[in-house]
């Protein structure tokens, strides 16, 4: 299989962590893409019309996107403990946490594009503040409501949250999330030591 890859993308990182955690790394060849929302990649656009990474091209040419679809696909391809409950209310709770982790990444990526890519005279502080508030509310909610769930296993939801926090460290270190959410920080300090997280850490 071929994975359209960028080492800085937290969405790609989720997929890479799942490949590590489920022992499927050798099934995938990485295809590096220099990704920007205003300067797409032709081959990627052909496979994923929305032009975003990650996308996974299977052996038969079928292309899967986005990251949540790919992670769930990979979770059905190994014989170890599933990384997402297959049924029941736990499945929907974990999927909602996965979605929340992705939404933190979306808000942070939006901030990155607004503050880095958009021409300086067109930048909008109100937009940046709103993204920060989304992230703050989500992190506070994770700390107050979901820490025990996160600590119960490194599944797709926990992988998503870990990759979202890693991305905040990469792109918004000034956000200072650890001071605001010490419980989440303690949890993250532990999971960041996992070989899958170390191997997929974005280059400094």
- d(Cα 18, Cα 193) in Å, to the nearest integer? 15
Backbone angles phi, psi at 44, to 5 degrees: -65, -45
Instruction: Find out whether 169 and 104 touch, Cβ atoms under 8 Å.
Output: no
The pair of structure tokens assigned to 68 is 């949540």
54 contacts ligand 99T (rule: CB under 6 A): yes
* Choices 5-13, 19-27, 118-126, 175-183 (CB under 6 A): range interacting with ligand 99T: 5-13
Least distance to ligand 99T, CB of residue 2, Å: 16
* Choices 63-71, 74-82, 177-185, 191-199 (CB under 6 A): range interacting with ligand 99T: 63-71
With respect to ligand 99T, which residue has the nearer C-beta, 54 or 166? 54
Least distance to ligand 99T, CB of residue 180, Å: 22
**23 three-class SS:** coil
**63 three-class SS:** strand
Footprint of ligand 99T on residues 13-42 (CB under 6 A)?
35, 37
CA angle (61 as vertex; 58, 67 as ends), nearest 5: 45
Least distance to ligand 99T, CB of residue 143, Å: 23
Residue with tokens 């955690």: 21
**64 three-class SS:** strand
Least distance to ligand 99T, CB of residue 163, Å: 10
52 contacts ligand 99T (rule: CB under 6 A): yes
Q: Could you give the string, one character per residue 157-176, with x where binding to ligand 99T holds by CB under 6 A and - elsewhere?
A: --------------x-----
If you count DSSP H runs as helices and E runs as strands, how many of each does the chain have, helices first?
Answer: 10, 4
- By the criterion CB under 6 A, which residues form the site for ligand 99T? 8-9, 11, 35, 37, 51-54, 66-68, 102, 109, 112, 171
């Amino acid at each position: 299989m071929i994975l359209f890859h960028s080492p800085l993308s937290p969405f790609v990182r989720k997929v890479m962590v799942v490949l590590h955690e489920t022992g499927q790394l050798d099934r995938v060849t990485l295809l590096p893409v220099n990704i920007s929302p205003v300067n797409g990649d032709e081959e990627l656009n052909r496979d994923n019309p929305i032009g975003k990474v990650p996308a996974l091209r299977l052996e038969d040419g079928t292309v899967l996107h986005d990251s949540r679809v790919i992670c769930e696909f990979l979770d059905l391809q190994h014989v170890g403990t599933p990384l997402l409950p297959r049924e029941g209310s736990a499945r929907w709770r974990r999927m909602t946490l996965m979605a929340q982790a992705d939404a933190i990444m979306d808000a942070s990526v939006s901030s990155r594009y607004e503050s880095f890519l958009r021409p300086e005279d067109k930048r909008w502080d109100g937009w940046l503040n709103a993204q920060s508030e989304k992230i703050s509310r989500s992190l506070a909610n994770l700390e107050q409501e979901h820490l025990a769930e996160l600590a119960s296993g490194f599944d797709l939801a926990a992988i998503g949250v870990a990759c979202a926090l890693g991305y905040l460290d990469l792109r918004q270190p000034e956000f200072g999330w650890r001071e605001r959410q010490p419980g989440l920080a303690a949890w993250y300090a532990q999971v960041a030591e996992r070989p899958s997280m170390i191997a997929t850490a974005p280059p400094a």
